[in-house]
Amino acid sequence: MTAVAPWGHSASAIYNTFDTQHHTVVMATIETSNTAIADVVIIEPKPIGDVRGYFAETYRSDIFDAAVGRHISFVQENQSKSRRGVVRGLHFQRGAAAQGKLVRVVSGSVLDVAVDIRRGSPTFGQYVAVELSEYNMRQLWVPRGFAHGFAVLSEQAVFQYKCDRYYHPEAEAAIAWDDPDIGIDWRLNTADVLLSDKDRHHPRLCQIPEDVLFDYNQDLYAL
C-alpha cells in the first residue's frame, strides 16, 4: 500500500513567555496537525530564537490532549541512539498492554512510521511517514492500535518517546519492516539497512492472527 499524506488541517496554541533581556513579552506556539489517518497527530513546537539560542516548550498536556481528543497519561519515557541505516520496527504491544507513543528526535533525523493495524479500519494496512529531526522539532503521536518504526537518515540519531503504558516484554509483537503489502519507502538503500536479529524475522501483516491485531470498533483506551 502507498503512504497516506502526513498533513491534514492544523491548529496552533499560543502562549506567552517573558524575554528578560529586552523586558518584553514574546509569543511562542505549539502547532498540531492532523494526518490522513485518523488519530495520528503531528505536534510541532515553534521555538523563539535570538542571539543566545532558542527557547521552546516541547510538551504541554493541555495542548496535546486537545489535539488527540482525550486525556493521555504518560507513564514511561525511553531513549535510543542509533547510527545511519538503522531501522527499528515495526513494533507494537498486544491486547491490554497496547501502547500509545509520543515520539521525537533530539539529535539527527529519522523517518518515523505509524501503520494502522486495526481490523475493520478504512485505513487498515496503510501508513503515515513523517521526518522528525532536531531542526524541525516535530513529534508524532502514534496511538494504540498502530505499529511503529523508524529509520535513521542522519549519521546518528537520538530518539525519545513517551509511552502511555509500561513496557511488557510478554506482550511484544511486530510486523516485518519490509512487508510488501504495506510497502514503506524508508528512504534508504536496502543494502544499507541495519536490523537487530529480532527485527529480521517478523511476519508480514497478513500472517498475523486476527486476535493479535486490534479491533477498529473497540475503544483501546477502555481496556
Of 183, 164, 84, nearest to 125 by C-alpha is 183
| Per-residue pLDDT at 3 exceeds 90 | no
Residue 40 maps to a domain: yes
0.75 surpassed by pTM = yes
What is the CATH classification number for the domain harbouring 148? 2.60.120.10
C-alpha pair distances (Å), 136 with each of 26, 47, 66, 140, 194: 20, 10, 22, 12, 25
- Structure confidence at residue 49 as a pLDDT band (50, 70, 90): confident
The average pLDDT across 110-128 equals: 98
The average pLDDT across 74-78 equals: 98
- Predicted confidence (pLDDT) per residue in 17-46, tens digit: 444 455 455 556 899 999 989 899 999 999
Give the H or E element holding residue 154: none
**Which residues, including other chains, have CB under 8 Å from residue 15's CB and lie 6 or more apart?**
27, 28, 29, 30, 57, 60
CA atoms within 13 A on the CB side of 198: 7
Are 116 and 152 in contact, with CB atoms under 8 Å apart? no
- Predicted confidence (pLDDT) per residue in 135-162, tens digit: 999 999 999 999 999 999 999 999 999 9
- Predicted confidence (pLDDT) per residue in 168-208, tens digit: 999 999 999 999 999 999 999 999 999 999 999 999 999 99
Q: Give me the percent of the chain exceeding a pLDDT of 90.
A: 81
Active site residue 161: yes
Residue 121 maps to a domain: yes
Q: What does the DSSP 8-state code read for residue 194?
A: B
The set of cell numbers assigned to 120 is: 475493520
Residue 163 maps to a domain: yes
**Which one is catalytic: 22, 23, 59, 91?**
91
**Which one is catalytic: 54, 161, 167, 168?**
161
Q: What's the CA gap between 198 and 99, in Å, rounded?
A: 20
Q: How many domains does the chain have?
A: 1
Residue 130 maps to a domain: yes
Owning domain of residue 23: 10-215
| Per-residue pLDDT at 13 exceeds 70 | no
